[in-house]
Chain A
Amino acid sequence: MASASLSDDSVPVLKILLIGPSGAGKSAYCEDQFDPESTTATIGIDFKTKKLAVRGKAYKLNIFDTAGQERFRTLSTSYYRGAHGVILVYDISNKKSFASMEKWFDEARLNANPDAVLYLVGSKLDKVGAGGRAVSFEQGKAFAEAQGAEFCEISSKTRENVKRPFVEVVDRIVQKPELIAGTPAGSKSIDFDMGNFPSNPCSC
């Protein structure tokens, strides 16, 4: 299963969620892919793994996308389990997208670990050049502050600032030892990879 380079136990694994309304560009952000023609919901990606060093220490991030379950607001409580950080994404060229963020913050607070780090991201910064901005930087910043979250604007297309939210979220997470201590897969849970399943488990 895990490749040797990543199964190094000394690298802490952090679970980061991306949430927000459909079309906010979460998937483009998650996958480091930008396809301006693609407007379809994300299919086939469960989560993406990135390695990141903050203050000289390496971390492995498992970044989960909503898999389209944001469309009718059907994200399950299990999606939020064990998340260390939640990045809430809206589209700066879409007022409605920004207006929905209060509900998304409420949902994140309701379901995620109370200590989880919340972070607001305005996406599609590249649209500013063509006069596409509908939500100002100051509006985004003020809203984030009111929610006690940090904030930045990014463009998955031009790569501007794409790294910053992850670095800042990890930086906040590592300042909360109680959050890391509650990491899933502690000594109490059972590791099936160690189990001795028959090689052909389903005999039906």
Chain B
Amino acid sequence: MESLSAETWDTAICGTGLSQSLLALALSRSKKRILHLDANDFYGEHEAALSLQEADAWAQAHAGGGATHHLDNQLAEGENADEDVTSDKDKLSVAPKLSGKKSTIFRNAHVWKHPNAEAQGLSFPRAYSLALAPQIIHTKSKLLSQLVSSKAYRQVEFLAVGSFFVYSSTDAVSGTRLARIPSSREDVFSAQSIPARSKRTLMKFLKFVIDYDSDEQKPIWQGSADKPLSEFLVDHFKLDDRLRDFIIALTLTLDGKVTVRHGLTTIHRHLTSIGLFGPGFCAVYPKWGGISEIAQVGCRAGAVGGSTYMLDTPASIDEAGNGGDISIKLSDEVSIRTTTLISSQQIRSTTSQSISRLVAVVNSPLQPLFGVLAEGAPLPAVTVVAFPPGSLLNNTQLGSNTPVYAFVHSSETGECPSGQSVVYLTMQTIPLSSASEVLDMALTTLLQAVPATGEILYKLYYEQATSSRQSLVTSQGDATVFEFPSPSLGLAFDDESLDAVKEAWKIVMKDEALDNSFMKFEDREGMDDDDDVYD
């Protein structure tokens, strides 16, 4: 431990969420001296993937309502808390929460386990890897191009996201309650669930979205850019309710009130992502727990580049600028000095939306949901099921005006043993009511709609909000403190969070930051080195 204090670090990074870990990757070829810490004893922070044992402990730690946490960041940290409080009032108010343990991003977490879970097939805790951030990544995402240009993608296994289904309780046309959304021309033509006349209107709309931003198409929608997309679809394209539900479902928006501008952008991203890396799929998902895996690979790259890693190490700002450094106290009474400090915001913003998530382990592979989408397409490991507003039976009193999305993961994701699946359900948290009941209902409805029988073995429920959406940059003497915003609540990965990574990278690199070198690396030496041939 002593050697940690012996030098002044160029940067201390607190937390191993995706943003901090991508920063570690971005800095991995610099000569900067980097100490990377996490208060948790696992990687990934808000985007971790948890074994059942870890999920139980995590739920316990985030069981509370998290309402009044404004001053507890350092008070709870250790015996010297009084010193901190009296030393500098202003400093306390800006002092970042450096670690995940006092976060108010998550709350109201609880777990449920089937009374005979083991007899029903629940395996050992480490056989599961439940993702706190089960976001899909569109193939057009800048995250993927950065992982490729930095060569980090070699350590991540990406799986295909397959069908998008929409649930309907009325099953008017096809007799099936889960209708697959057609998303290509061929798809639309071959779809049996859509009458011929609707096919024409749908094709017209899809054609429009492909170049919606062109000078030719802009006049069609710009006047109603901030109006609800659902009205626009009916007024301009005469889509029927069913097709409207299809299109709205593709936006993956949680309030059902997506605007024309935002909706067209996301549908355009969806459609233009299809086929980029192979036929049939628009998005990918990292095996073994999604974003968490990318975070770990980023940290590994940091370690290969010489950074020092410590988990299970809460940290707090000890004293402000003394000759340009910040002193950071680690939990074991060791302090270190650094010229920049990077962390993530841990406090939910008062204006933040809240979402409710239910993660469920089911003892069925739910095979019918994982059909191959096109000839030569990879077998999908993730399927999306949308429950449009009002589609769940008997839940008028529970807030039927918000959609529910279910991401179903097969065991190919490595998140559960084979023969089982993990279902991630998300909806907006509804005030004065129970989102958890609605999610439970959606889960039961889903299992009934799939022609396969499955029991629920384990459930993790929690609510998630966000910090302020801006990065916070503060100066302490010559030293800089940078705080990433918490992860977005979107169901698809949002490229905007990558801008903050680059911003932080520039702060650490200072005048060595050459724009065109960001995240662009050659393979490490040792790769493909075939000099060592043992007979």
Chain A: residues with CB nearer than 8 A to chain B? 1-3, 5-6, 31-32, 41, 43-53, 67-69, 71-74, 76-79, 81-82, 110-111, 163, 166-167, 184-185, 187-192, 194-198, 201-202, 204
Contact = CB atoms under 8 A, between A and B. Distances in A.
10 contacts: A5-B530, A48-B526, A50-B530, A51-B530, A52-B534, A71-B309, A72-B311, A191-B277, A192-B144, A197-B148
Contacts of B56: none
Contacts of B535: 53
Contact of B148 (A41, A67, A73, A201): A201
Contacts of B80: none
B306 A44 contact: yes
Please list the 3 inter-chain residue pairs (A to B) with the smallest Cβ-Cβ separation, ordered nearest first.
Answer: A201-B145, A78-B296, A76-B296
A62 to B, nearest CB: 9
A10 to B, nearest CB: 15
A191 B379 CA distance: 13
Nearest to B311: A74
Contacts of B534: 50-53, 163, 166-167
Given A48-B532, A68-B303, A192 B526 contact: no
A44 B126 contact: no
B532 to A, nearest CB: 5
Contacts of B277: 190-192, 194-195
Given A51-B532, A201-B148, A192 B158 contact: yes
Interface stretch (B103-111, B356-364, B517-525): B517-525
Nearest to A201: B145
A3 B75 CA distance: 57
Interface string B238-278: 00000000000000000000000000000000000000111
Given A49-B526, A195-B277, 8 more contacts: A1-B528, A51-B533, A71-B309, A188-B378, A189-B159, A192-B144, A194-B277, A198-B145
A31 B526 CA distance: 8
Contacts of B299: 76
Interface of A is mostly: loop
Contacts of B311: 72-74
Given A3-B530, A48-B526, A74-B311, A196 B276 contact: yes
Contacts of A191: 277
B300 interface: yes
Contacts of A73: 311
Nearest to A7: B528
A59 to B, nearest CB: 10
A202 B518 contact: yes
Contacts of B533: 50-52
A127 B158 CA distance: 45
Interface stretch (B84-92, B149-157, B185-193): B149-157
Nearest to A40: B306
A78 B155 contact: yes
A160 B322 CA distance: 53
Given A72-B310, A189-B378, A49 B529 contact: yes
Contacts, number: 157
Interface residues of B, number: 61
A192 B158 CA distance: 9
Given A3-B528, A51-B530, A81-B288, A195 B276 contact: yes
Contact of A188 (B276, B379, B529): B379
Nearest to B313: A72
B356 to A, nearest CB: 27
A187 B300 contact: no
B284 interface: yes
A201 B309 contact: no
B148 A192 contact: yes
A2 B528 contact: yes
A66 B525 CA distance: 16
B94 interface: no
B412 interface: yes
A41 B304 CA distance: 10
Contacts of A51: 530, 532-534
Which residue, A41, A191, A195, has most C-beta atoms of chain B within 10 A?
A: A195
Contacts of A46: 301, 304, 524, 526-527
Given A72-B310, A72-B311, A79-B300, A204 B502 contact: yes
A192 B519 CA distance: 17
A98 B283 CA distance: 47
Contacts of A2: 528
B309 A74 contact: yes
Contacts of A79: 296, 300
B437 interface: no
A78 B288 contact: yes
B309 A204 contact: no
A44 B305 CA distance: 5
B306 A43 contact: yes
B308 to A, nearest CB: 7
B331 to A, nearest CB: 13
A167 B139 CA distance: 40
Nearest to B378: A188
A76 B378 contact: no
Contacts of A31: 526
B297 interface: yes
A197 B145 contact: yes
A42 B483 CA distance: 30
Nearest to A59: B534
